Amino acid sequence: MCAWTGDGGRSAGTSTSDEWALPVRVEQRRYDDPVVALLVEQLQQEYVVRYGSRDETEVDADEFAPPGGTFLLGSVAGEVVAMGGWRSHEGGDHVVEIKRMYVLASARRRGYARLMLTELERTATEAGARAIVLNTGQEQPEAVALYESTGYAPVPGYGIYLDAPLALFYGKDLARQPA
């Protein structure tokens, strides 16, 4: 478990920044944990609003279990504010895929997505990942802005959304990241 107080995820532990008043606690959970399931349902409802339907992709909870994956929840003062996970990707050895990045609507615009993304990258790197990919969509401009501002670049499409007209695919070389 890690705690931050607002350094944008740039370092493990506690920061002296005043950007956020309360520390964000990040803990690992199983994808089939009841709290995760509740948040995934909220995310699915957001997909309905933005795209007109749910993401019906089958997800095996074991894909997000170590050593081949992880799923994280971020909380502030005991209230969950964000989630995200990574799992091994079909694209090759040492490549992982980010899935289910989500920040509750009431907690947005406070940097929690950036913190979660940084922690996902850190844990993936520790697990031996050299590259990370993800799929988002044109109706999620906040996500696109986050990924582009943190060094993600367009990559070839993959998976079930390969030919989806609103799908966007990004990747990042983790081996080039500063320690």
Q: What is the pLDDT, as a whole number, of residue 48?
A: 87
Higher per-residue confidence, 18 vs 121: 121
Peptide bond between residue 34 and the one before it cis (omega within 30 degrees of 0): no
Adjacent-strand bridge partners of 170 = 134, 154
Q: What is the pLDDT, as a whole number, of residue 2?
A: 47
Q: Is the pLDDT of residue 13 over 70?
A: no
What are the structural domain ranges in the chain?
A: 2-176
Q: What is the pLDDT, as a whole number, of residue 12?
A: 35
Q: What is the pLDDT, as a whole number, of residue 160?
A: 87
- Taking residues 142-171, what's their average pLDDT? 94
Which residue is associated with the tokens 């995200």?
84
Q: Is the pLDDT of residue 23 over 60?
A: yes
Q: What is the pLDDT, as a whole number, of residue 21?
A: 52
Could you tell me the pTM of the whole model?
0.83
Return the SS3 of 58: coil
Q: What is the pLDDT, as a whole number, of residue 62?
A: 95
Percent of the chain with pLDDT over 90: 63
Q: What is the pLDDT, as a whole number, of residue 175?
A: 83
**C-beta separation of 173 from 153 below 8 A:** no
Q: What is the pLDDT, as a whole number, of residue 1?
A: 46
Q: Is the pLDDT of residue 57 over 50?
A: yes
Q: Is the pLDDT of residue 82 over 70?
A: yes
Return the SS3 of 25: strand
Q: How confident is the model at residue 22 (pLDDT cuts 50, 70, 90)?
A: low
d(CA 99, CA 77): 25
Pick the CATH number of 2-176 from 3.40.630.30, 2.40.50.60, 3.40.30.10, 3.30.300.20: 3.40.630.30
